[in-house]
Structure 1
Amino acid sequence: MTAETGTGAHNHIPTWSVGDVAIRRVDEIHLPPQTGPWLLPGAGPEVVARAHWLRPDFADEQSVLRLASHSFAVEVNGLRVLVDTGIGNGKQRANPAWHNLDTDYLGRLTQAGFAPETVDLVVLTHLHTDHVGWNTRERGDSWVPTFPNARYLATRTEWDYWAGVDMDEARCQMFRDSVHPIRDAGLFDLVDVPAEGTEIVPGVRLLPTPGHTPGQVAVEVRSHGESALITGDCIHHPVQLAHPGLGSCVDIDTGEAATTRQRILRSLSGTRTLLLGSHFPPPTGGRVVPQDNAYRLVPAAPDSRV
């Protein structure tokens, strides 16, 4: 699987209905096959092969994981909310799969009805490179906010952590080109998220999911008794439903991340809540059901009601 960088791949915008709210997946790229072994080193082919339900959607015939980068666009009560902004175009990155991308993400976003100037709120589940990249775009020699009329929202815990840690140069570069410009423009807001979560607009709540990063959140959407949960990186891939203890190589606290994942999966198991993975490849969404002392994902096709 290779990165999609062409302009002809957005004839259809996958959409899920949650009550009277539409959640649209806005694709950036499919990540290359080496991403899985790097990101989830404990999910080797023998581990993946034991969860037969992962193939063919979430793993290939060699039991190599499929992963993707995308945003979720949600219109609720007239507000256009974008959850995470991917990797971004033209940015200097240490990871070759993220370096100097040239995708039609903004074209797909516009086709979804979210032209950049119409976005009201950008929710950043956490401040990692592949979740903040389209915060900004290049104009001349500068990086300027992609969504000039939006507020960008992250948790105070997340900001405080990165503000106090000694970052390597690659992460400093990401903050310089994708975070500091929105803060300098006065568009960056910080929110405190208690254990029970907090509602940021009617029908949209942030739920704390620490471990991958200290201030990471998942995003819950509710409407007319139906609900969906956008994972952020508390769950990178459906293989972690079968093996909730599987950690990511970039988790800051692997133990806390596993505890968070177990809590989230336990709360969703057997419910009608739609789980939407921030890096799950198509079909991307599904419902969590118990299986073999753990869980599995039953896919929910886009354009179907929850």
Structure 2
Amino acid sequence: MEYLEFELPIKELEDQLQKCRIIGEESEVDVTETCSQIEKKLKATQKDLYKNLTPWQRVQLSRHPDRPYTLDYINAICGDSFLELHGDRSFKDDKAMIGGLGKIGDQSFMFIGQQKGYNTKTRQYRNFGMANPEGYRKALRLMKSAEKFGIPVVTLLDTPGAYPGLEAEERGQGEAIARNILEMTRLEVPIITVVIGEGASGGALGIGVGDVVLMLENTWYSVISPESCSSILWRSWEYKEQAAESLKLTANDMKKLKLVDGIIKEPLGGAHRDREKTFATVSSSIMNSFEDLKNLSPKDLVAKRMDKYANMGVYKG
């Protein structure tokens, strides 16, 4: 288990608890009371620490190297029923954007999401979760296929942004994202979006237009990352914590601003602390959202979705 800098007090207590148990196992000394005291202190420290997280600390948790990624969720939720589909039928298959058909129970869904890597080799293979234009075009192809067969769409957002390279711009990165946003607003099947990690810029929004948009508790969703915002405003990354506070990018902030529809509770310490519980919670949240949408006609579904996004940012003075 890796620990972030602000989690070091928890690491120290967990190390103490482990040593205490080892002493008890290797000797005849009764350490039950000592272990119990450390456990109580550990639980109190965890509750106090994770109850008062700053926006920057939530950003750090969303990037935790042990945090589950898109394929982890899909494989856990769908099991052997997931069939990955490849290619945009125009240029190539983008490994940063994955998609395919899967089932939750007896209900089929088209799953689409950004996939990051676990080590240097897989991060390069997945391009650090940053999709090229062909990734967004693949996503759109899969969405249109789902629409044709009346299959609801689930998108999982976890990206530091769309790939900013020269070749991506040459192949129409901006147009690909804009096209997806346009087509998703009028897709005639339910779209359920879940932010499972980083939701940065148009890279996330390119598959993020949903009838229901949910955020896991320790994720963020914003037009720009705190580091990039800091480098633009202060010409330095040193003010990233201040930028994270000002951007109002946490799940609670987004819910208050009515930009997302719900927050999915995470286990204490983050999704990586209890993966199975997180997978089960996300699965039930997807199904609950689908139950609310499945009886709407395609016309009502599109009209409701269009109204939802048209009303964002409208304030009465």
TM class, shorter-length: 0.3 to 0.5
Bigger fraction of residues in strand: 1
TM-score computed with the length of structure 2 as normaliser: 0.32
Instruction: Give the structure with higher Rg (CA).
Output: 2
Greater percentage in helix: 2
